[in-house]
Structure 1
Amino acid sequence: MKKSPLLKEKLTAQLREQIQTLQTDQLVKIPSERDLSESFEASRVSVRAAIQTLVQEGLLVQLQGKGTYIVPSVHVDTLYLMRSPDIKGNDPYYTNFLVEITNLAAKQAIRLSMVNPEGPLDAAVKGPIIVIGQMDDAKLDELKAATGQLYAVQRYAHREDIVQIYYDDYRIGSKAAKTLYDAGHRNFTLLAGPDKYDSSRLRKQGFLAYAQQVGITVQIITDKMNWEGGRRAADQLLTGELPHAIFAVNDWMAAGCLQGLREHGRKVPDDISIIGCDDIPLASQISPRLTTFSLDAKHLVEELLSVIHRGSRTQAHGTHEQMILTAALIHRESVSTTTHKE
């Protein structure tokens, strides 16, 4: 006689117990949902729910395109976080990252400790260091020498001795240009920040490369990557013929520009379409709601901690690992697909 399907709670408990017996100091891939469903005589819906519960508990990690793995049993007691002086404490991306890493670290009984980027490193720092943002090579060398366990939430193209995890900013720019082009727009303006910021520079490069590929000349306005920078860009645009579409390298610039255009009677997206980046809370609150790219901090943190758990071997062998994540485009109301067709 066939058994009744296991309830989610009972299935989760049994799966948790089995995982703990299989846990080693390396990532171990678990069977597929289908195989687990047959093994436990449970529905795939229940299996999927149980897996998600164990992911939230930190026992499992899902790696994009690779499957679900048991988190290694090697336990990290403390993670040290160092924020670049260029990143303000209220920066939306940094704030989201801090919230997500705090939540996941708590579930895995990991203590977080902030490290001052100014001055010499405290001798008490013994363990993995996560650098958020850009640091100069001298500081990176100091951190690497001190612990041998250095992880960067940032792209360092010239450093092959640092584990790096970041969103593909070049691809963001390219996809923004393609999205506007596919919507029928043929006259672009790019709102960019200073090239010293990798995110702005790479998004600009990706945008310009795609525009060149399809034969479109782009007007570039460079300013501070904040609301005021976006407002000044709007003032500059209003002195001449408006472009059909704008890509701003972050949402603050996009929102400031959108507001400036609205105050002068220009309608978004009827008169002009706008895409931003970062999906800050304001992006879904402003009117019209902003089409933008979402850099999922939770996904990044999950991938980062999975790398750190297996990182002692990676760092010891001196190898370089990069995890390049893809940002999702969030379609909202600030882009028109009917205006300015050829």
Structure 2
Amino acid sequence: MTKQSGRVPAAESDEPAVDAASPSSRPLPAPGASVLALLALGWLAAMLWSTREAITSAAAGVTAISLSAFALPGVISAALVAGAAVALAGGNLLARRYGDRATLRFAGAIGGGMLVGLATALAINLTYFDTSATNVIAGTAAAAAIIGGAVAGARTAPAVGAVVSAALGTFLFVVAFSRARDPLFDLFGAGDSQQSLIDAAKWVSRTESLIAGLLAGLLAFGYLTWARRRVVRRHPEAPALRWPAYLLAGAGPGLLLLLAEVIIRIGGRSLLDLASALSEADAVAQTSLGTSRVDNGIWVLFVGALAALIAFGRTLGPAHTDDDEPADGPDTVADRVDQEDDKPGSARAFDADPAETFDADPAKADPAR
């Protein structure tokens, strides 16, 4: 007799071996990451240029500090998104050349964010006035870009790409919405009194946040749907995107806005304090703007997540029910069990009365005969 090995051959094993390089076992890439990186860098450059123009056109001293504090949120949010977009494009490039490795992907994402942060800090220091406010903007923007790169190192690259695309669309909408603020103020009853102006400003801000959240959710859903179809064309066995990916993508722009606010309040605290110390009106304005940014981020987060989930739910087919069974098949689970038990050799057949089972031949009922 030949001695058999205790190992089970691969062809005879119950569970098929999973190929680590197969599309079903590796994370999906983020299509269009290079285009998103170019758009995000262009938006960051536009924010840096507009901030520089605002600061240099103002009178030196008090007004420059105030305008720097007002422009800080736009620069930080743009640097955060640009760092994520460039890191995402770099991660796709590394995955194509060296395969998908978690450590390599995260290191490349951090490196991409650092490159964006370094370039942003150099651009600010070389083109802005050399003041304490300029140094705060440069350092905080560099930190935001690195944090954005770290966010892009996550395994769910399509969701990160959807967040970046939705955030860029939201930024563009905010700029376009600024032209509709004055008509909306009149629509919401802004008058000569201070209270009417405050109430109108509150409703204008809520309207902007609501529309921005809807736009963010729809853009995130559209990007994920397009990314899924593009990947499936090349890899039919690629895993499907579940509802958590759409939930994360829809809520992503709001999360980025809240993360940018945290970075502003930590890294830009000294600049905000300088602006608030200028006058009582500046202190009230800085407090009001900070509260408004937090409220806007929360609205965009929840409305965007809800919009993305609703859009994803409308793509799902009807659930399978018992009415889909064939007409000649068993109607219930109990009927299927009864049919199986009535087959020869089943447990019910052996438990039956021998007289009923072998009544056709009495000799078979008594083995002694």
What TM-score comes out, normalization by structure 2 length?
0.23
In terms of fraction of residues, the more strand-rich structure is: 1
What TM-score comes out, normalization by structure 1 length?
0.24
Q: Which has the larger radius of gyration?
A: 2
